[in-house]
A = this chain, B = another copy of it.
Amino acid sequence: MKPTLQAVADAVGVSRSTVSNAYSRPDQLSATLRERILDAARQLGYPGPNPTARSLRRGFVGSIGVLFTSQLSYAFTDPFAVRFLAGVGTAAERHGTSMLLVPLPPAVTDARRAVENAAVDGFCVYCVADEEWALDVIRQRGLPFVSTASRDDAGDDERFVGIDERAAARSAAAHVAGLGHRRVALLADSVLPGAPAGPLTLVGVDQVPHPTTRGRLAGFADAFAEVGVGWAELTLVNAPGNSRPAAAAAIAGLLDQPAPPTAVLAGSDVLALGVLDALAARPARDRPTVSVTGFDDVPEAAAAGLTTVRQPAEEKGRIAAELLLDPPADAAAGHVLLPTALIVRGSTGPVPRS
């Protein structure tokens, strides 16, 4: 059994409080006594105040939670998520705070429990899928949080960092529309929860539940509406999982058709890279010329020559953590919109004359 603070106090012959002060408030006791106490502690093998007990008494933990509404192991395969984490890490580092990554079990009840049981002072919520229930639990716990996806019900006092998804997506689509493309596919993850991979017909973009996906699809649609291509004329493709293979599989059927789309607008770079994979996998003679755009501008995008919309990933994580760790006095400052930029590379070009 490890000695406790009491044991050290007994050994030195002082009160528990004094030993506690020796560690946490050195100005409250003489330097010599402090040395005596620390020496005794060393001799007894006392490892310093128990972090859990300390947290309980002090009322805070000294770590922030990062919540991915997806498998934790997935988070590390998504380059955007990794950059986001790096940003959170930078801010955490600066504040001397630890980051708790909370894995969510598949069942919602278990997942609620996981969020309830996390010993943290607040959460950065990185939304992959529908996250309302998670925010509910956090609110219930009375913990502060920062969310990173626009939500429909965001309270005024709730902190947020993100981008204007719709406008950003629109810029990419406008670029593609400007190149003359009219037969276009929109590729997204989690268009409808539970829907199978592949083409999907939706009456309107409003049917998409996930706000981020909806925002991006709406932006794509906006730009095409402007050149006279309506929602119904766009091919919507679902690629559950947001991975390169998932995207490749989801788009494959479409590429086989007699008149494949001349452009694919993807909701993320990972999906777009999957489309490029699918194209590269075919023999050159039956490889259609397809313009492809992504979203995020992850490091891999540059190497692949992918036209994409850049959003500052690390910045997003850093700011999320900072909004959490020292909240701005002004409520309006708790709502941050980051800039985006269209990055045109080689993956988009004019419509080929057939």
Decide yes or no: A96 and B116 within 8 Å by CB, A47-B140, A55-B52, A90-B73 being known contacts: no
Q: Does A45 contact B (CB under 8 A)?
A: yes
- Which of chain B's residues have a CB closer than 8 A to the CB of A54? 117
Pair B61/A119 contact, Cβ less than 8 Å: yes
Q: A1 — nearest CB in chain B belongs to which residue?
A: B142
Question: Interface with B: A81-89, A253-261, A328-336, A342-350, which one?
Answer: A81-89
Pair A76/B86 contact, Cβ less than 8 Å: yes
Pair B98/A103 contact, Cβ less than 8 Å: yes
Q: A102 — nearest CB in chain B belongs to which residue?
A: B98
- Which of chain B's residues have a CB closer than 8 A to the CB of A86? 73, 76-77
Pair A93/B76 contact, Cβ less than 8 Å: no
Q: Does A199 contact B (CB under 8 A)?
A: no
Please report which residues of chain A, range 1-56, place their CB below 8 angstroms from some CB of chain B when the two chains form the complex: 2, 45, 47-48, 50-56
Chain A interface, number of residues (Cβ within 8 angstroms): 49
Q: A53 — nearest CB in chain B belongs to which residue?
A: B56
Decide yes or no: A103 and B92 within 8 Å by CB, A47-B142, A82-B82, A86-B76 being known contacts: yes
Copies in the complex: 2
Q: Does A75 contact B (CB under 8 A)?
A: yes
- Which of chain B's residues have a CB closer than 8 A to the CB of A113? 48
Please report which residues of chain A, range 66-117, place their CB below 8 angstroms from some CB of chain B when the two chains form the complex: 71-73, 75-77, 82-83, 85-86, 89-90, 92-93, 96-103, 105, 110, 113-114, 116-117
Q: Does A303 contact B (CB under 8 A)?
A: yes
- Which of chain B's residues have a CB closer than 8 A to the CB of A83? 76
Q: Tell which of B61, B77, B98 touches A101, judged by Cβ atoms closer than 8 Å.
A: B98
Q: Tell which of B56, B100, B103, B303 touches A96, judged by Cβ atoms closer than 8 Å.
A: B103
Q: Does A235 contact B (CB under 8 A)?
A: no
Q: How far is the CB of A316 from chain B (nearest CB, A)?
A: 14
- Give Cα A142–Cα B45 distance, bound, in whole angstroms: 10
- Which of chain B's residues have a CB closer than 8 A to the CB of A51? 116-119
Q: Does A141 contact B (CB under 8 A)?
A: yes
Pair A73/B89 contact, Cβ less than 8 Å: yes
Pair B100/A100 contact, Cβ less than 8 Å: yes
Decide yes or no: A100 and B103 within 8 Å by CB, A56-B52, A72-B92, A142-B2 being known contacts: no
- Which of chain B's residues have a CB closer than 8 A to the CB of A303? 303
Q: Does A62 contact B (CB under 8 A)?
A: yes
- Give Cα A137–Cα B48 distance, bound, in whole angstroms: 10
> Which 7 residue pairs spanning A and B have beta carbons closest together?
A76-B86, A72-B89, A93-B103, A47-B141, A51-B119, A73-B90, A48-B116
Offer 29 A-B interface pairs, CB within 8 angstroms, sorted by A: A47-B116, A47-B137, A48-B117, A48-B141, A50-B56, A51-B116, A51-B118, A52-B52, A52-B55, A56-B56, A62-B117, A71-B93, A72-B92, A72-B93, A72-B99, A73-B86, A73-B90, A76-B89, A89-B103, A92-B101, A96-B114, A97-B103, A98-B103, A98-B114, A98-B118, A99-B103, A100-B101, A101-B101, A303-B303
